[in-house]
Every structure is written in C-alpha cells, then in structure tokens.
Amino acid sequence: MAKDYTNDSSFLTDVKTLRARARKQIEDGALTPGYELDPDQAIHLLNTALATELVCVLRYRQHAVTASGIHSEPIAAEFLVHSNEELAHADLLAKRIVQLGGTPQMDPAGLSERSHAEYVACDSIDKMIRENLIAERIAIESYREMIRFFGDKDSTTRAMLEGILAMEEAHADELADLLE
C-alpha cells in the first residue's frame, strides 16, 4: 500500500508559512530567507567574475581585429567567437547579480583592477594565443574556487558557474590546439 504524502511536511516548510513569507517579502525578488550566503559577498565575487569576463571580451576583440599574417583569418575568427561567448558569460553574471539584489559593476574605470585576467595587446598571433590561454587558465581556476564557495548554499549560481567553467575549459583546449 502506498503511503499518503499529502500531509507530509518532514522536510518542507508548511505551505501557510511559505505563502505568508512570500507575501511579506515580495520586494526581495528571488532572494529568500533560505539563501544561506552573505548576498553582499556573493555579489562581490560575481562582480569580480563579471570584470574578468569584460576584460576578456575586450582582449579577444582587440586580438580579432589586429591579428595579421597568412594564417590569421581563421584564428581571428576564433577570437571573435570567444569574445562573443565571454560576453554571454558577462550577461549571465550580470543578471544573477541583479537577482541577488546587487548592481553589476560595468564601469570601465577600474575594470582591469577588478578583473582576475589582464588585458594584454600583442603584436603576433602566437603571443595573442598564449595571452588568451593564460587568461582562460586563470578563469578556470577562479571559477573552480567560486563553485566551491557557492557549493550547496546557492545551487543556482553554482550551476551557472559550472556552465561557464565548461565553456572556459573548451576555450583553453581550443587555444592549446592552436599552439601546436
């Protein structure tokens, strides 16, 4: 005989409490009392990641338009693809910052100081590939640390960061292949 779970509240807050809390704290949007992290700290970390992504967008775009030489066209095209993907990451991060009640810090002033990666203009395709690979490796390590930080306390942010990490790892593989 199947157990009746209609009144089972062994792990869920009762519905009346959930409804009352939702109505009382409606202005808080997605940030509920069950959020287990300090939202300001989470927002700070995500703004750092946002700065890193924006620096990467600009570096990749710079490299895409300045790459020259007989084999530059497909590599410049790859840089542009990476730039667009980094911009998509920045959009995801900015939207999550807003969901957590923060403001995305996109002011160009101080962007490179907030970023983990550096903006490096290069004069050869080989140097461009290397600088972009270095930046991807920095991003990979940064995202791994952030994923550990968010852990089970913010599964939405963790899942978003895991998706971004997978793309950064793919970028690193692609750039490493270009070096061969």
User: What DSSP designation does 13 have?
Assistant: -
Q: Across all residues in the chain, what is the average pLDDT? A: 90
Residue 6 has pLDDT above 60, yes or no: no
User: What is the pTM for the complete model shown?
Assistant: 0.86
Instruction: Give whichever of 10-14, 20-24, 67-71 has the largest mean pLDDT.
Output: 67-71
What is the model's pLDDT at position 35? Answer: 85
Main-chain phi, psi angles of 113, to 5 degrees: -75, -30
What is the model's pLDDT at position 10? Answer: 58
- Per-residue pLDDT tens over the stretch 54-112: 999 999 999 999 999 998 999 999 999 999 999 999 999 999 999 999 999 999 999 99
Q: Is-contact 37 153, C-beta < 8 A?
A: yes
More confident residue, 27 or 70: 70
More confident residue, 27 or 127: 127
The pair of structure tokens assigned to 159 is 């899942």
Q: Is-contact 49 143, C-beta < 8 A?
A: yes
